[in-house]
Amino acid sequence: MTTEERMQSPTDAVQARASARENAREAARDAAQAGQQAVSAGAQQGARAEKTSVEVRTTDGGQVFLVTDGEGKTRRIEVGNDGRILAGAPEAGTAVAPVPPPASSKQLPEGLVDMMVIIFSSVTLMSLGTPLVKAWARRFEKRQDATEQALVAQRLAAIEQAIETVAVEVERISEGQRFTTKLLAERAPEEPERSR
């Protein structure tokens, strides 16, 4: 690329792209007319005449023109972004202009894909991670509950044992009191007789 081409102004570049598009359209029209002429010539010779169709496909490397004539023969013409014919040279006298690159308005802004990946991965992580964390927390709480229940069971067993011990001691005390009361009851009638 020469220095003059590098210093070309943006408006010149836009004009060059517009003229390139127009030249590509003209080349396609010329190819279609040539195909129609071939069809009409074939019809005059008794061949079956059908319409000529031109299909234009835009690719990353330029444009592809598919010209189908009335006999069903398809001719493929590939034109690069710089205007060079890559394959299937057209008829002599057909001008092929450079094909402009895809419009920049259809390109995604920088960083948008990265940002979308981060957002989607965050949402996925949260939607999958939240139930897992809740399940882990429940499991941890169940372990703590089991430990607390074991401690409560031990305390209840100790309380039951203490209550049984107290009950036995109270029974002994009450038995002792009954015995003492019986002894006092037996001695009580003798004392009044002595005092007379």
Please compute Rg for the chain using Cα positions.
52
Identify the pLDDT of residue 94: 46
Domain parsing of the chain, residue ranges: 3-106, 108-191
Q: How far apart are CA 50 and CA 70, in angstroms?
A: 4
Q: Splitting the chain (196 residues) into consecutive groups of 10 residues, what average pLDDT does each group show?
A: 51 71 77 72 52 70 74 76 64 47 66 91 92 90 86 94 95 94 80 54
Identify the pLDDT of residue 17: 72
Task: Give residue-wise pLDDT tens across range 153-187.
Answer: 999 999 999 999 999 999 999 999 999 999 988 88
Identify the pLDDT of residue 143: 85
Q: What share of the chain is helix, strand, coil (3-state, %, to 5)?
A: 65, 10, 25
Identify the pLDDT of residue 91: 47
Q: Is the pTM of this model over 0.85?
A: no
Identify the pLDDT of residue 181: 92
* Residues 98 and 85 sit within 8 Å (Cβ to Cβ): no
CA nearest neighbour of 25 among 99, 80, 92: 99
Identify the pLDDT of residue 103: 54
